[in-house]
Structures are given as C-alpha cells and as structure tokens.
Chains A and B, each alone.
Chain A
Amino acid sequence: SAVISQKPSRDICQRGTSLTIQCQVDSQVTMMFWYRQQPGQSLTLIATANQGSEATYESGFVIDKFPISRPNLTFSTLTVSNMSPEDSSIYLCSLERGETQYFGPGTRLLVL
C-alpha cells in the first residue's frame, strides 16, 4: 500500500484564477500520475510526472493549462490555470508501486 496526501482537500475558486494542488507520498517513487474525475464520471489520466523530466500529457491536456512540477521523488504539484466552471472536478494524484497504482484522497475543486 501507500500513504498519499493531497492539499488542499477542497477549494472554491473564481473563474480566471489558478490553483496549485500538492501531492506528498510516503516514500520515494519514480512515477507519479495526475487524474481528473469530473462529476459523476470515471477517472481520466491528465499526465505522468517522472522526477527529473518533463511531464508527459495525455491527449486533450496541455502543459499551459495543467503545469506540473516534480521537484523530488516524494512530491509533485498540479496547477489548474485560468480556471473555468468546466474545470470543476476531483483531481487525484497517484503513484505506482509494484505494478499497481495507489491514489490520494483527491482535491475537490469547484469553480464559480
């Protein structure tokens, strides 16, 4: 298993602003991931964040909108930039350990 924490746990933001979400894990991992879960939907991968390299984004997601940092092997941030109401979602980070992925508790974002 894994211990993963995210900050903030939830936030309400105004459109046009940006929010940075932090993810802290309990031990060093190579691969961390960021997912989005829109209301009532399943999880969709935004990007893969490996320490020491640029994040790899999935189709439909771009770095300008979702910049990611991975400064060390236990920490990552995801920024949701220039937010609109369509960005209202749960954002989850995950890590890979033993060919299995474990998820953080999520950050619930509401954009007004």
Chain B
Amino acid sequence: GQQLNQSPQSMFIQEGEDVSMNCTSSSIFNTWLWYKQDPGEGPVLLIALYKAGELTSNGRLTAQFGITRKDSFLNISASIPSDVGIYFCAGQLIRGGTSYGKLTFGQGTILTVHP
C-alpha cells in the first residue's frame, strides 16, 4: 500500500528559528494536507494543497505541493513556543471526480521550541 515518509521525526529548536519538514510518497496524491496535533486534541488542519506546484501560506506557515505530486514540505518561520506539537502530513486520492476520502498519514514530526 501507499506509504508516506515524513522527516524529521523530531526537532528541537530555539524560539525564533525557522523550521522545515517534508513528506515523500511512493505514489501520487491529488491533495496534500498538513495537520498539527496538540496533546489531548485531535489534528487541526493547517494548510491544504490541491495542485502540483502549489505554494500556499497561512501566517508564518508555508507549504508546497511537489511538482511530481509525490512530495510536500511545510515551513514554519520565526517559531514561537505555541508551535510545539506534532505535525502530520497526509495525502489524499481523488477518483472519478469525487474524493475517495481516505487519508494516508505520515509518521509525524514532533516539534519542541525552547524559549
């Protein structure tokens, strides 16, 4: 089946530093999604990408949908303590004009920000 490789597995950074994480897939996806999960919470959608090559920003977050449709990256600029959490990438297929729905998740990147 499809697998997503997300890296790095964890990051320890100082407040104010920029962060970059990425996901690669053995298969093509039609949609890439990036989520953040805080302890005790469900994943919260950060950015959704729908087209190959698409570059989208949401505040200090920037994500890109790779040209090959097999990869995506997420950048966080000027990190702050509340950025702490687990970040997941997820890929989704679209079939026959409608969403198949199933998300395949990466393993997650645990981000720790030191004040």
Contacts and interface: CB of A to CB of B under 8 A. Distances in A.
Interface of A: 1, 4, 31, 33, 41-45, 48, 58-59, 92, 96, 99-106, 108
A102 B107 CA distance: 18
Contact of A103 (B1, B44, B50): B44
A100 B45 contact: yes
Interface residues of B, number: 24
A103 B42 contact: yes
Query: Taking chain B's interface residues, is the majority helix, strand, or loop, or is none over half, making it mixed?
Result: strand
Given A42-B88, A42-B108, A43-B88, A102 B45 contact: yes
Nearest to A59: B1
26 contacts: A31-B101, A33-B101, A42-B106, A42-B108, A43-B43, A43-B88, A44-B105, A45-B102, A48-B101, A58-B102, A59-B1, A96-B101, A99-B50, A99-B92, A99-B94, A100-B48, A101-B33, A101-B90, A101-B92, A101-B101, A101-B103, A103-B35, A103-B42, A103-B43, A103-B44, A108-B40
A106 B39 CA distance: 11
Nearest to A90: B42
Contact of A31 (B41, B94, B99): B99
Contacts of B41: 105-106
Interface in B51-70: none
B31 interface: yes
Contacts of A59: 1
Contact of A99 (B31, B43, B44, B88): B31
